[in-house]
């Protein structure tokens, strides 16, 4: 059994589309917000997976727990989920015309076995004029999204190109997950 240590609707949708059976147990943890982006994403994913795994009771103690943390980084600065519209506006201005990294930490915990890794996708934004930023903010998609945008929604219009795993930008590095657990699809 797979247990997703996240309440993310995007992660649930991706797993469901793959036909993977899973339970959802969101981890209630205080995430790291500063530091080297790969280390922050990895540690947050580990924290989520370990917290949920520790709370499992028999017969679930042998379940595979999946923890994921996705963040946006530009020039070493982490852009998490904007706290309000002005924060989202500042984030989109910073990303405008630039190439940023979408970094996901992925952690798998099953009993005493713990694995963690990171995936990165490079995303290049178009140059965004103030009217485009206003349009996007009015949609409200920035809420609850790392970097303040949703590539799988109207936020895709902000993007010029990507290099790497598209699903990673949505919120789950599927290629990395399947490299670690190819049997999930069987």
Residues assigned a catalytic role: 69
Token pair 């793959």 in the structure block, residue: 18
Q: What is the rounded distance in angstroms from the CA atom of residue 70 to the CA atom of residue 145?
A: 9
């Amino acid at each position: 059994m797979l247990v997703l240590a996240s309440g993310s609707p995007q992660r649930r949708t991706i797993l469901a589309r793959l036909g993977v059976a899973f339970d959802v147990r969101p981890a209630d943890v205080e995430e790291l917000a500063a530091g080297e982006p790969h280390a922050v994403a990895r540690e947050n994913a580990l924290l989520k997976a370990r917290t949920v795994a520790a709370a499992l009771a028999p017969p679930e103690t042998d379940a595979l727990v999946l923890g994921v943390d996705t963040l946006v980084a530009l020039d070493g600065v982490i852009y998490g989920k904007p706290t309000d519209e002005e924060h989202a506006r500042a984030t989109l201005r910073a990303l405008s015309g630039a190439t940023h990294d979408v970094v996901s930490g992925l952690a798998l915990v099953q009993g005493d076995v713990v694995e963690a890794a990171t995936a990165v996708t490079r995303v290049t934004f178009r140059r965004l004029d103030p009217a485009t930023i206003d349009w996007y903010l009015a949609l409200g998609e920035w809420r609850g999204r790392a970097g303040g945008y949703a590539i799988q929604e109207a936020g895709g219009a902000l993007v010029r190109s990507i290099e790497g795993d598209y699903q990673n930008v949505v919120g789950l590095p599927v290629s990395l997950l399947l490299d670690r657990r190819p049997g999930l699809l069987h």
